[in-house]
Amino acid sequence: MNTYFIAGHAKLPQGMAARSLYDSITITLELDFKYGVIVDASCTLATDHGKEYIRQLLRGYSLNDGIEDIIGKIKQHYRGKAGQAIQAAIKDVYIQFESVNQQP
- The count of other CB atoms within 10 Å of the CB of residue 77 is 12
pLDDT greater at residue 14 or residue 41:
41
Does residue 14 have a pLDDT over 70?
no
List, as own/partner pairs, every contact residues 73-80 make where C-beta atoms lie below 8 angstroms and the sequence separation is at least 24, other chains included.
Answer: 77/53, 78/53, 78/54, 80/45, 80/50
- Which residue ranges make up each domain of the chain? 3-102
pTM summary value: 0.86
The dihedral built from the CA positions of residue 27, 53, 76 and 15, taken in this order, carries a sign that is negative
Q: Which fold has domain 3-102?
A: Sufe protein. Chain: A (3.90.1010)
